[in-house]
Amino acid sequence: MSRKPIIAGNWKMNLLQDEAKALFEGIEKFTRDFTAPQLPTIVIAPVFTSLNVVHTIKCNCGCGGDKVAIAAQNCHWENSGAYTGEVSVEMLKDAGCSYIIIGHSERRQYFSETDEMINKKAKAILAGGLIPIICCGETLEQREAGVTDQHIATQIRAALKGLSEEEVAKSVIAYEPIWAIGTGKTCDSKEANRVIAMIRNVVKEVSSEKAGDAIRILYGGSVKPATIEEQMSQSDIDGALVGGASLKADSFNEIIANTMKVRA
Ligand code: PEP
């Protein structure tokens, strides 16, 4: 089964609107030399306040706007109401998003997000016609204690609870070992592939063989232009969720170019 690769940039809480504009333009310009089928699915997740800026470029770039998709970095599961500081799926769709990252380890760690909340968000995102990028991953302590697979399987079972086969198939999972995020330490590609294959088996067990074969599972954790070719050469790694290296057009575009060398 061939799964189209995804290269997603998570800008986290970085870049003012002018900076976001310049970076998005740098990525959009790079994509002009390629047709959409040649490129991986490219997803950019700016802060909420820059969604409109990047969406405006996407709509006015003259290439049909089909080469770079926009993601939000979080959402609430309710449509509207008394939830001060929150943003709903409907609002994010209205702002031009087609993907939403949920369950990032930084949200789990600093904002106490639970597996149950992530499952509610996944359901709301899919009900709203968008695609969740569901993050999972173990801490260094969990890895050293030998409970990596068990911990990740629990996160995945909880996140996908109650989703239909079609909903699971169109979802995206990002395996991000927490000890590799923003640390410069990448997980060995073969080990990342082993964990991702394990995740795929969990998806098959909780949903179906078909959904497990279709779902795209990314690796995240200090991905750089120099690491992506080996990562993308693995059997089960379908792309990357990139933090630091997505904040410069040169390095992000090089990650896209190197991905195309291995998998279109
Ligand atoms: C991330 O933000 O999800 C991430 C993987 O960051 P970095 O690439 O900087 O490790």
Cβ proximity of 213 and 203 under 8 Å: no
The yes-or-no verdict on residue 264 having pLDDT over 70 is no
The yes-or-no verdict on residue 99 having pLDDT over 80 is yes
Cα gap 124→107, rounded to integer Å: 18
**Residue 176 Cβ contacting ligand 1 at under 6 Å:** yes
Closest Cα to atom 6 of ligand 1: 243
**Residue 241 Cβ contacting ligand 1 at under 6 Å:** yes
The yes-or-no verdict on residue 81 having pLDDT over 70 is yes
Of 59, 56, 216, 195, give the one whose Cα is nearest residue 134.
Answer: 216
The mean pLDDT value for 84-112 works out to 97
The mean pLDDT value for 235-255 works out to 98
Mean pLDDT of the chain: 96
Give residues with Cβ within 8 angstroms of 56, minimum separation 6. Answer: none
Query: pLDDT tens-digit profile of 170-209?
Result: 999 999 999 999 898 889 999 999 999 999 999 999 999 9
The pLDDT score that the predictor gives to residue 175 is 98
Cα gap 224→92, rounded to integer Å: 29
- Assess whether 151 carries a catalytic annotation: no
What is the DSSP code string of 130-197? -EEEEEE---HHHHHTT-HHHHHHHHHHHHHTT--HHHHHH-EEEE--GGGTTSS-PPPHHHHHHHHH
CA 184 to centroid of ligand 1, rounded, Å: 9
Query: pLDDT tens-digit profile of 22-59?
Result: 999 999 999 999 999 999 999 999 999 999 999 999 88
CA 227 to centroid of ligand 1, rounded, Å: 13
Question: Domains of the chain, with CATH numbers?
Answer: 6-262 (3.20.20.70)
Cα gap 202→9, rounded to integer Å: 26
